[in-house]
A and B are shown apart, each in its own frame.
Chain A
Amino acid sequence: MLKRVLKAAAIVASASLLAVSAQAADVIKIGQVAPKSGPLAGGATVTQWPNVELWSKQVNAAGGLNVGGTKMMVEIVEYDDKTNPGEHIKAAQRLAEVDKVDFIVAPYGTGFNLAAAPIYAKYGYPQIAVSAISDKMPELTARYDNLFFTLGNTTSFTDSVIEILTDMRDAGTIGNRVAMVNVADAFGIELAEAARPKIKEAGFDIVYDKSYPLGTPDLSPIIKGAKDSKPDAFVAWSYPPDTFGLTEQAIIQDLDVKMYYTAVATCFPAFKGKFGSKIEGVFGAGGVNQGSPEIQAYFEAHKEMTGKDADAWASANTYVSLEILGQAIEGAGTLDRKAVTQYIKDNTFDTIMGPINFENQISNKYWTVGQWQDGKFRGVKSSQMDGAAPIVAKDGWN
C-alpha cells in the first residue's frame, strides 16, 4: 500500500514536471481490488490473485498486447479490499481517479461484484465477473451495460445437484432420503432455499435440514444429526472452512452415504492435500474438463509461474475472463473502454475453456458440479461444456 502511495506520488510529481513520457504510454494499466486479508482471502489467494499474476506474466513474456499496431505491456495495480465492501469502493475509486488504470479485473465474491458494479459502471470499465453467482444476473446486466457474468447462476447449481440425485436414484444407487445442511450466510441460505422445494418436487424426502452459523468451531453435532436421520445422500451448501470441517467429521463418524456433496472449496488442491484418497467420489461445486489439453497446459503454466496449483473450477474461469479482456483489447485495437466493452458483447473468444460468447452479457458455458475421481476433480455436470465424466457412487471413506 505504502509502495503504491509513493509510486502514485512519484507519478504525480513527475507528470507535473515533465510531459507524460512516451514510455508510460506503452503500458496498459490494469487495476485489481480483491481480498488479501479477511474472510474471503483464503479463497481469493487460490482462485483470483495467482491468475492475475499468471496472465500478466504470460502477456508480457509474449511482448505485450497488440493495440492497433503498438505492442503494449500490462502493468497490474493491486489493492487489498480486506473483504470489506467499503474498502473495495474506496480502492476502486482510487484506481480510477489516482492510478487512472485503463482496465480492471472484476472483484472476487458475489457481494463484491454487485457492490462495486455501480462504481465500475460510472467509469465505464468492462467488468467481467467470475466469482459471482446469482439469479439476479439478467436484471443486473440490464442495469449495467458494462457488466458480464461467466460462472452461472444459483438455479443451475442447485438443479445440477438435483439432477445427480435423480440420476443416482434412477440407477438404484440411492433411495429417497436426503440430508441437507447449509451455512447461515447469504450464499448458503440462497442455495438451500432454492434447492429445498425442488428436491421435494423431485420426490425426495429431506430427512435432515439444518443451518449452522459461519465459523462454527465444532461441526460434529451436524454430522451426527445427519447420520441419525439415516440419509442416502448428503448435500451441504458450505463455505471453505466448513467444507473441510464437515468432511473431516463425515470421515470420523463414517457417514455412509452413496452421494456426498459439499459446495465451495471441494475443488481446492488443499482439499485433496488434507484428505488424500478418502475423498474419492465426493461431489462439489465446480469442475473442469481434465481431459482437455488446453486445461492441462494451463494447469502446468499456473504451477510453474505462480508456484501453486490451480483449483479445479473458478481458477480456469478467472483466467478465461482475462483472456477475454486481452483479446477484446487487441480486437478493438484501442484502450477506449466503450469500444472494448462493445467488442466483448459482439464477439466470440477463443479460450482454454473453448469458444465463449455472451448473450445479454451472460456466458452460458460453465461447470456446475464436479466429482473427485482417481485423485482428480472432474466436471460431471455443466451448462454447455464438453467432456463431462460419468458419475460414480461414493463407496465409503477409504
Chain B
Amino acid sequence: MDIIITGLLLGGTYALIAFGLNLQYGVARIMNLANGEFLVLGALAAFWIFVADSISPVLTMLIVAPLSFFGNWVIYKLLLRPLVRRAKNQGQLEVDSILATFGMSFALVGIMVSMHGEYFTYSYLAEPFEIVGETFALNRIVAFCFAVLIGGALWLWLYYTRPGMAMRAVSVSTEASGLVGIDVPRLSALAFALGGAVTTMGGTLISTFITLDASVGVIFTMKALIIIIMGGVGDIRGAIVAALILGLVETTVARLIDPGLTLAAAYAIFVLVLLFRPQGLFGRKPT
C-alpha cells in the first residue's frame, strides 16, 4: 500500500513534467528542448517569491501560468512560426525546432544563472500526512492533486469540447485538419503556449519538494521525452499512464530491490515499450 501510494505520488510528479511537452510536441509539432528550462523558470519564480514574501507556491503557480502562456505564445509566433512555415516536411521541422530550442535552452539557463546561480531550496508544506497509517509528504500530495486536476482538465477539454477536438485533429494530421477548416497555425500556437504554461505550473509545484538549480532543466526535458514517447506522442491519456507506470516501477524497485536500480528499471521498461509498441502505449501506427 505504501509503495503504491508513493509510486502514484511520483507518477503524478512525472505527469506534471510531461503534460506540457506532450502538447508542444504532439500538437504544435515542436520538439521543444527548452521545455525543462520553462519548468525550472516556474521553480525559480516560486522560490523567489516564497523567500521574499512567503507567498505560497500554489498562488505563484496561478500568477506564472498566464505569464508563461503569453511568453510561450510570443516565442512560438516570433521564433518558431517561421520554422514551421518554411519546413517542407515533418522531419525538417523536427530538426529545425530541435536546433532552435536547444539554443533557446542555453539562453534561458544563462538568464537564470545570472538571476540565481545557487540551489532553489525552501520548505513549503514539508509536513507529514498520514494515509492508512503510512506517512507521506504533504507537498507531494498537493502536487499530485494538482497533477490530477491539470490532467483531468486537459482530458475533458481535449475530448469533450470543440476546440479540444480540433486540437486532437491537428495532432493526427495538420494537412487533413487544415482541409476541414481548422485554423492550424492558431491552434498550434495555442497548444504550444498552453504546453508552456502547464510545464511552468509543474515547475512551481515540483520546486516544493525537489531541490533545483538553474542548469537542471535538461534532466526534466529528457524525462518528459521518455514519458511521452512511452505513452504515445500527442495523447494525454498515454502520458498519464506512462508517468504512473514509471512512478510505480521506480518506487517498487527502490523499496523491494535496490534504490540503485531505479534508473535501470525505468529504462528497461522504456526499451520494452519501444521494442513491442514503438508507437507508444496509446499511439497510432503510422500509416
Which residues of A are at the interface with B, using a C-beta cutoff of 8 A? 36-39, 41-42, 45-46, 49, 83, 181, 184, 210-213, 215-218, 220-222, 224-225, 240-241, 244-245, 248-249, 251-254, 265, 268, 270, 273-276, 308
Contact yes or no, B263 A220, CB < 8 A: no
Contacts of B250 on A, CB cut-off 8 Å? 218
Contact yes or no, B210 A217, CB < 8 A: yes
Contacts of B213 on A, CB cut-off 8 Å? 41-42, 241
Contact yes or no, B117 A274, CB < 8 A: no
Q: Contact partner of B118 among A38, A46, A184, A252, CB < 8 A? A: A46
Cα A216 to Cα B122 in complex, Å, equals 18
Contacts of A244 on B, CB cut-off 8 Å? 119, 121, 211
> CB of B68 within 8 A of chain A?
no
Cα A240 to Cα B121 in complex, Å, equals 10
> CB of B181 within 8 A of chain A?
no
Stretch at the interface among B6-14, B56-64, B73-81: B6-14
Q: Contact partner of B117 among A42, A211, A222, A225, CB < 8 A? A: A42
**Chain A CB within 10 Å, residue with most, of B119, B123, B128, B214:** B119
Contact yes or no, B255 A212, CB < 8 A: no
Contact yes or no, A37 B113, CB < 8 A: yes
Report the nearest A residue to B254, measured CB to CB: A221
Cα A127 to Cα B166 in complex, Å, equals 63
**Chain B CB within 10 Å, residue with most, of A42, A184, A265, A270:** A42
Contact yes or no, B254 A270, CB < 8 A: no
Report the nearest B residue to A243, measured CB to CB: B211
Contact yes or no, A37 B110, CB < 8 A: yes
Contact yes or no, B260 A212, CB < 8 A: yes
> CB of B135 within 8 A of chain A?
yes
Contacts of A221 on B, CB cut-off 8 Å? 6, 251, 254-255, 259
Contact yes or no, B219 A254, CB < 8 A: no
Cα A241 to Cα B10 in complex, Å, equals 17
Q: Contact partner of A211 among B9, B135, B136, B259, CB < 8 A? A: B259
Contact yes or no, A248 B119, CB < 8 A: no
Q: Contact partner of A210 among B51, B219, B258, B263, CB < 8 A? A: B258
Q: 7 smallest A-B Cβ distances: which pairs?
A: A45-B117, A221-B254, A42-B213, A212-B259, A244-B211, A241-B211, A211-B260
Min Cβ gap A236→B in Å is 12
> CB of B126 within 8 A of chain A?
yes
Contact yes or no, A252 B260, CB < 8 A: no
Q: Contact partner of A225 among B127, B214, B259, CB < 8 A? A: B259
> CB of B279 within 8 A of chain A?
no
What 1/0 mask marks residues of chain B from 205 to 219 whose CB sits below 8 Å from any chain A CB? 000011111111001
Q: Contact partner of A248 among B113, B137, B214, CB < 8 A? A: B137
Contact yes or no, B119 A42, CB < 8 A: yes
Cα A225 to Cα B251 in complex, Å, equals 12
Contacts of A38 on B, CB cut-off 8 Å? 215
Q: Contact partner of B259 among A42, A210, A253, A274, CB < 8 A? A: A210
Contacts of B126 on A, CB cut-off 8 Å? 248, 251-252
Min Cβ gap B99→A in Å is 19
Contact yes or no, A241 B110, CB < 8 A: no
Contact yes or no, B117 A240, CB < 8 A: no
Cα A273 to Cα B136 in complex, Å, equals 23
Contacts of A218 on B, CB cut-off 8 Å? 6, 9-10, 13, 140, 250-251, 254
Asked, given contacts A210-B258, A213-B263, whether A270 binds B121 with beta carbons under 8 Å apart, the answer is yes
Contact yes or no, A252 B215, CB < 8 A: no
Report the nearest A residue to B223, measured CB to CB: A217
Contact yes or no, A274 B123, CB < 8 A: yes
Q: Contact partner of B119 among A184, A241, A253, A276, CB < 8 A? A: A241
